[in-house]
Chain A
């Protein structure tokens, strides 16, 4: 079974703190993704990566950065946390396909509260 793990299920941080969310997958997937999920808005893509050290902006990258130094690990960084970044953060991974799209496998999520 594909396993995607996230470093924390719940996190509480203060405004202005630098926050690191870690994601690890064990299926040798090329693609990794970070989403945030908010009520009524569904899942919105923050960043994704299709290879080590590669990253692409998603729909809402402002206020976030990412790091992918190893294939299995994809980190989301909130440089200076703000209250409007309180949300559920979901990590996902998938195989890379040129002419086909594969399903994404998701981690359990990190519920981040910024006070």
Chain B
């Protein structure tokens, strides 16, 4: 069975603080993909990153960075110098090739950045 756990339901930080959103997954497969999505108050999920299981390099995109560690089955997301516009619900998801591209989403982490 596959499962994605986002243990942090809600997080609040003060603007300019760094924040890390945790994502832990369970799978027996060796080939899989992990994703992060952002859902701002407007409601539309926005794709942030895709990572396959064979690529463990960390990724940085501006203030966003992702730490993929297969040894701990984690794919954590860090926002550096948070801004009010980062306030949103963030979802981590797991999927496999050849399964119709079905995604398995975590329950999401609601991030509030306080000005």
The answer to whether B71 has its CB under 8 Å from any CB of chain A is no
Q: State the interface size on chain B (CB cutoff 8 A).
A: 25
With known contacts A45-B103, A58-B102, A101–B97 Cβ distance under 8 A: yes
Contact A98 B45 (CB under 8 A): no
> Which residue of the partner chain, among A56, A88, A109, contacts B100 with CB atoms under 8 Å?
A56
Known: A90-B45, A104-B47, A108-B42. A97 touches B97 (CB 8 A): yes
Distance (whole angstroms) from the CB of A60 to the closest CB of chain B: 13
Q: How far is the CA of A33 from the CA of B93 in the complex (A)?
A: 15
Distance (whole angstroms) from the CB of A93 to the closest CB of chain B: 10
Q: Which of A33, A48, A88 contacts B43, CB < 8 Å?
A: A88
Q: Kindly list chain A residues whose C-beta atoms are within 8 Å of the C-beta of B44.
A: 106-109
Q: Which residue of A lies closest to B47 (CB)?
A: A103
Nearest B residue to A107 via CB reads: B44
Sample (6) of A-B pairs whose CB atoms are under 8 Å apart: A90-B45, A97-B97, A98-B97, A101-B96, A103-B50, A105-B47
4 shortest interchain CB distances as A-B pairs: A106-B45, A42-B107, A43-B105, A101-B33
